[in-house]
Chain A
């Protein structure tokens, strides 16, 4: 048969490609069980996409590769120096080459594809206290950040310190500082973050974060309140269109300045930290004492010296006074200008729950609930980001979708949770004060809450999504504490197994063992951190957790924990593929279809991430297990919807294939099978950010098949598409089975959804 000949060709090409990739130690996960699953799609030229768990090559950065850091930027406050720099990876160049060759090989036809313009890379955020400016200079020097492409780097800087430290930079590093207007930078930074970073803005009430998705078209006007040493309030009407409308001199500098004088704390962070153990009732006059409730009045009526007050109480009292005041003035200003949205940024906030709660409370109180305070996760880096944006050459403006944030960073200390007693009601100008109910707060969350922004210029929204705006990849919302706990336990318990596999994949060397242990520690710490504050890294879904784990593995140089296993399995699968295909070809169309679906589902039993399955694997080779699970497939699929769906899908698939075969007669030379990366870094797929390669290839697809738990259950289970969709997976988790399909472990989901 003609089709079979093509198949052989394809298999040969695939084999070669796999071999090369394995040789290059590249990600091989994508070819997982390829033969078994692709069999149904080899008939025609029309694209039937199997969206598999390909890991984007672009995203796989290899840390020991020499980084080319070509841009950097500072925002120098009076006491905090923010540093933002962009690093580009040399391997991205290699990628482009490889991509070209693969395009050629598979003959991707791609009219709408965006040219791959820019460097991928990472945007790093670092901060220093200006009193320790030398540390900063050393840091820049050690990273050679001041050496640009042309060895003649100009550093963009903003903030007051840009004036103060210009000479020092010239002298120590030999670079000149180009000063950017501070307000311009703040606004540009905020605009960028609000547009480019999903889950950038959030509200914070009583210790709970809630992320706010802001429609880009409705973003303006907003009030940007930047709390540095002092406070600036800007009305922002658009890109580069803003006006400083207000401000106050009572800001972060006041807090720290007064705090330093009153408590002898040595650093801003220390002051914030002690405030967590404070009880401002000790200093503030409370409603109970005198109605009218007043700050510091208590200090009047009692004959106490500074030494008689605990620094903790003073710090908390100061923090509350200043936060509340800023909230109030901001609200009044917004009201005057008729602005609904108020964003707070700047270093004073530092992800500090009590500060955010107090500001939120003030806004809520004075607006009688009509307005909300919103915060930015990258709050401390607005100015620096804005200055960074002022480099014209990088042209990042149109790449708003291309940023991904990663929280895994080697060397990031993840500290144990800091326990805190929640402050109780206090007199706040005669009103109840907010109480931060977060059990645990940390003085500076911003270190942990701000990841490295990865610029992946080739990411796009999956074009077949029916409703991209309301699309939510995660099926399981971890906002539910029960779910959260369950999945954390699952992931935690799986760590030792994963480490074993990962170490084995790297040859089981001592180095690998060390890295494995380091991974286990780091990932456990991240999990603990997220348990404590689920919203720490933005809105948390199961997909994000899995992605975090993969990132974590990669950060410790484990490129694929299962690579050796996969290699073995792939070889076994490819060996039987021709026979299987022949068998399929000989079937009637209806039988073939059922067989195909059965095949996919049966093959889906291989899941090293599922504990239940890992036990199975020890019983035999992949082929044996496959046969065994094929037998299991004999019983009817349990979910009634699924059964019906499968039958309908069956009819359609057959129709589709007939059409394809007819079509193929007219254009016999076009592509029959191609493999593209999906751009995601975990077994899950976030269809808001897929590789533009995939986006281009999928554009005219008639059918999307999502296979496997990560793609079809953990994510996208509820997603709707513009074309027909088939979601196939074996449920290898009892709880998930119960929750999603009211079934049992090893039940199969075959969900067919017609085009929307």
Chain B
């Protein structure tokens, strides 16, 4: 499946693109890749505004060095199929081609910025197969710089999710900090961000995307994470979760503010019913699992935000993937525990924070807020467009003078 998508990307964007600056986030389950590509062709749908921005950027270039127009590409692979990733890099010659162009410092040759646990694990493999070294970027700092970049540079990046509706939130750059960044990968990290490069991991939980997928796989025989998410969408968690109403004879437990539909015990019904796993629909199981994990993360995140007096909570990481039901449960959990005072916010590029952060580590981009704009159509219709999967952002990057290195 990943292969198909890659194919697609290749077709859409012609091979004449100059590709440079690849960054990887090699996680326990997925490899996320971000790379920059300059395009000789002007984007077809380029608007006036974009053009003027370009000129603005160009005018700045005289001071600071090269300014490049191009696109950021987002790709992902399953970690278990790392060879596909290696083949892709190799086929596109991503690992050294770009650097010879456009005056980028040549010293960067054969080095790729990488983050995530796999950056350690697979370093030898990259060296051996592609002859390149992975320059390890600290995971947490990648996440934070990725998120900071997105929140400042990309309009309509953050949104809330209420009753199935995305509501984009305009983030005031001056009022961005402090915020809580909850990155849901295999596990969950909760990071208090106070500014660029100023952050602290304050909490976390091991119950995250890995738990969802791992348990889900054992419970449903699902072959991929996406299948599992898809299945959960069609499920009904009431089949297997014990609701407050199940316990109290269909009544709400008003004294403590629990409605009869609140989950009293995830998977609690499996206890009292003498049913084998096979007798439950995998969809229902997946849904219960998803709700359990989302709910839990939402709760822990809210408690941590409360602890540090943080008003904004952003959720990211591949677990969410723009998946409506996940976002919905997390939103509900935050809403419930905060009694409506806090809202969960999500990022459109949530899965790529780490990879983007590693990319930022090349220090190509300075003061990015005005230099980035999104590739056309996706920008116009954010409700449809979703960059959680493979996608592109069109942007300008600025090559810094080589002297700095």
Contacts and interface: CB of A to CB of B under 8 A. Distances in A.
Interface stretch (B59-67, B117-125, B380-388): B117-125
A300 B242 contact: no
Interface in A265-288: 268, 283-285
Contact of B306 (A260, A336, A428): A336
B121 A429 contact: no
Contact of B117 (A229, A292, A333): A292
Contacts of B251: 163
Interface in B148-197: 185-189
B272 A78 contact: yes
Contacts of B205: 325, 328, 429
A367 B255 CA distance: 31
B13 interface: no
A438 interface: no
B58 interface: no
B277 A291 contact: no
A15 to B, nearest CB: 65
B255 A183 contact: yes
A261 B219 contact: yes
Given A301-B29, A335-B307, A429-B206, A230 B214 contact: no
Given A183-B256, A295-B206, A160 B248 contact: yes
Contact of A261 (B267, B299, B306): B267
Contact of A164 (B225, B249, B296): B249
Nearest to A166: B249
Contacts of A244: 256-257
Contacts of B299: 246, 248, 329
Given A257-B240, A292-B117, A332-B300, A250 B292 contact: yes
Contact of A321 (B120, B139, B211, B241): B211
Contacts of A148: none
A325 B272 contact: no
Interface stretch (B258-266, B360-368, B397-405): B258-266
Nearest to B206: A429
A261 B266 CA distance: 13
A251 B300 contact: no
A246 B333 CA distance: 12
Contacts of A366: 203
A294 B211 contact: yes
Given A130-B272, A253-B242, A329-B299, A296 B214 contact: yes
Nearest to A324: B206
A428 B206 contact: yes
A285 B210 contact: yes
Interface string B207-246: 1101101110111010001000000000000001110001
Given A294-B186, A301-B29, A250 B208 contact: no
Given A163-B248, A249-B266, A262-B277, A300 B210 contact: yes
B214 A298 contact: yes
A294 B210 contact: yes
A309 B249 contact: no
A520 to B, nearest CB: 41
Nearest to B241: A249
A163 B186 contact: no
A78 B264 CA distance: 11
Nearest to A131: B272
A749 B307 CA distance: 60
A375 interface: no
A290 B117 contact: yes
A427 interface: yes
B48 interface: no
A134 interface: no
A252 interface: yes
B80 interface: yes
A258 B270 contact: yes
B28 A253 contact: no
B38 interface: no
Contacts of B276: 261, 264
B300 A261 contact: no
Ranked 5 nearest A-B pairs via Cβ? A296-B214, A160-B247, A253-B265, A253-B268, A257-B267
23 contacts: A163-B249, A164-B247, A183-B255, A229-B242, A229-B264, A251-B265, A253-B242, A257-B242, A258-B267, A260-B270, A261-B277, A262-B277, A285-B186, A290-B118, A292-B189, A299-B215, A300-B29, A301-B29, A301-B80, A305-B218, A321-B207, A332-B300, A430-B204
Given A228-B265, A246-B303, A300-B213, 10 more contacts: A163-B249, A183-B256, A230-B263, A249-B265, A256-B271, A261-B280, A289-B28, A295-B208, A300-B210, A329-B303
